[in-house]
Structure 1
Amino acid sequence: MKTLLLKKEDIEKIVSMKDAIDAVEEGYRAFCSGQVIQPEYIAMPFDAPRGELDFKAGYYSGNEIISLKASSGGYINNPSSYGLPAGMNTVLLWDARNCALLCIMEGSYITGYRTGAAGAVSVKYLARKNSEIVTSIGTGNQARNQIRAVSHIIKIKEIHAFDAFADSMEKFKKDIEGELGIPVILEKTSRAAAEKADILITTTRGKGPVIDASWVKPGTHIVAIGTDMRGKQEFDPEIFRGAKIINDSIEQCVKKGETWHPIDKGIIKKEDIYAEIGEIVIGSKQGRTNDEEITIFDSTGMAIQDNMQAYKLYKSALDKGIGTEFEFFK
């Protein structure tokens, strides 16, 4: 049996944000329909200038695929010291029927696109229908993917952006306006950006709250992306008081997500979490019910997202003759 090797340049030929959104939505549906085995992911943080290494494994009965993704991030010295990216991703796929290794693929597009797609799926089900102003706190690569993905769901009138690094903001503005033709307004403070949002997206690696509860207007939909392990935080926990809280995985978010902070402070209890996003996708719970409620989507990232998207890319590569096959087992 042959194993397929897909390098980054191979993935680049077949990846698309629309397909990623479809894959993530399908993954959420499968997760809340009892078709997924997804053990708790392993996060391994290291002291600076090293970052962290995460392992996410999952199985989906619908495609009979077991996936494992190793994802690093925050290795800030990599570019200068080793000529490598600050974060790298590798995805492995096995045939669950016999545990034969089907594919080894570079996973940066998978991680970037499926994370952006997660935000877009939440916008589809939870944002006000008349939402048109998006705020991005953080202007790195994931901020771009969030905007790309959300632009598939709604017509964005304008983007308000803030980042602690002015050069990053300027590049974000140039890139997004050039690629998508959406006006980007650079704000001098995170407050000025947050107060204008219909949809508020955070993609920082925050070590403390960067958004105060008083800045969030009624009817805002929040996409909280940056907190996926203990020690990270982007929001004043008071924002959660009275909000409609949706997690990708409740078990993950109460331990490692933004939701952990208000629980730790006694502001909410686990029972106050309204739903997992998959419950809303399959229709067992309603999404937004009025234009005044604040909705919060806390996304820690799920193995089923990687599984769904990686398998679709694997099948597409086989169909198009992309990648390199080799004998791993004989």
Structure 2
Amino acid sequence: MKTLLLKKDEVSRLISVTEVIAAVEEAYKAFSSDQVEQPDYMGIDLPSPRGEIDFKLGYYKANEMISMKASSGGFIDNPTAHGVPNGMATIFLFDARSGSLICVMDGSLILGLRTGASGAVSVKALARKNATTVASIGTGNQARMQIRSINEIMKIEEIHAWDSNPDTLFKYKTDIESELGIPVMMANSKREAVEQADILVTTTRGKGSLVEADWVRPGTHIVAIGTDQQGKQELDPEIFRNAKLVVDSIAQCTEKGETWHPLNKNIITKDDIHGEIGEILLGRKPGRESDDEITIFDSTGMAIQDNTTASRIYHNAIAYNVGTFFRFFEQ
């Protein structure tokens, strides 16, 4: 049996942002069409200055692929102490018909791309059609991924950005303006950024409420990316009281997502969740219904997103003869 090995630079050549957006849309639709088996993901928190490692497993019946992703993050000492990034990911693809391991690929780029694409898919489904201004709370790598993806499906006229680290904020401004030509306004406060937003993107590792309810304008679409484990939080739970809430997975978001906080405070109940984004993409539930609605997309990330994205990369690699085959054992 031969297994294809794909390095990070090879993965980067094998898929475009638009393909990833399509793969994530496919994933959400599949999840809401009973085409996916996806056990609860597991996470291990390690003592500081180490971070966390998550394991996500998914089976997609339509492509007969099983994916498993191991991803780490928050290992702040890694670059100096170990000579590796502070976050890494690896994806394994198995042929569901035989159980054989057909591909091992670097997953760090996929993790960023498919998470960025999830925000873009939600913008497509839930943001106002005349939205032009994005506010970014957090200006790290995922904030960049969000902007690259959203910029594929709408014209962003300006970005208002805030970060707790002024140097990170300035580098974000320089990078985005150079790469995409979108003006970036460096906000003096979180409130200043949020109050300008048609679309608000939060991509921090926040442990408390970063965005207050009275800062959010009517008609804002919120892409809540940073909360994927209990203990993390970015939004004031009061924002949910009068908002249309859409999630990637009800099961995950009510236990580990931003949605957990207003549920825990009895501000909303599970019945107040409008639905999963796959239901909206399939036309089973409406998306935005007025320009004054505040909409929230709570994204915890799902294994099926890795599956559909990695599967496209694998097939592209085979088609273009990219990567190295390794024989683990002889039949």
Q: TM-score, normalised by structure 2?
A: 0.99
Q: Secondary structure at the match of 1:275?
A: strand
Q: Which amino acid is 1:120 matched to? A: A
Q: Please name the residue that 2:305 is paired with.
A: 305
Runs of 4+ aligned structure 1 residues displaced above 3 Å come to: none
CA offset digits 1:139-192 (Å, max 9, x no partner):
000000000000011100100000000000111001100110000000010000
Task: Give RMSD over aligned pairs.
Answer: 0.6
Secondary structure of 1:274's partner? strand
> What per-residue deviation string (whole Å, max 9, x for no partner) do you get for residues 93-124 of structure 1?
00000100000000011100000000000000
Unaligned runs of 5+ in 1: none
Alpha-carbon contact 1:136-1:160 (below 8 Å) kept: yes
Residue identity matched to 1:203? T
**Corresponding position of 1:103:** 103
| Shift of residue 44, structure 1, vs aligned partner | 1.0
The amino acid across from 1:157 in the alignment is E
CA contact (8 A) 1:173 1:184 kept: yes
Residue number in structure 1 paired with 2:191: 191
Alignment of 1:1-330 (within 5 A): 1-330=1-330
- Write the distance in 2 (CA, Å) between the matches of 1:164 and 1:245: 27
Measure the CA separation in 1 of the matches of 2:134 and 2:253.
24
Equivalent AA in structure 2 for residue 41 of structure 1 = Y
The Cα of 1:329 is off from its aligned counterpart by 3.1
Alpha-carbon distance in 2 for matches of 1:18, 1:90: 22
Contact 1:27 1:308 survives alignment (8 Å): yes
> What CA deviation, in whole Å up to 9, does each residue of 1:66-114 have, x standing for no partner?
0000010000000111111000000000000010000000001110000
Residue identity matched to 1:196: Q
Number of residue pairs matched? 330
Per-residue deviation, 1:12: 1.6
Q: CA deviation at 1:15?
A: 2.5
CA–CA separation in structure 2 for the residues paired with 1:221 and 1:203 = 14
User: Which letter does structure 1 place at the counterpart of 2:172?
Assistant: F
Q: Aligned letter for 1:242?
A: N
Q: Distance in 1 between matches of 2:44 and 2:269?
A: 27
2:120 maps to a residue whose letter is: A
Q: Is the 8 A contact 1:137 1:202 kept in 2?
A: yes
**What is the CA distance between 1:43 and its match in structure 2?**
1.2
Q: Gaps spanning 5+ residues in structure 2: where?
A: none
8 Å Cα contact 1:15/1:109 also seen in 2: no
Q: How far does residue 315 in structure 1 lie from its aligned partner after superposition?
A: 0.5
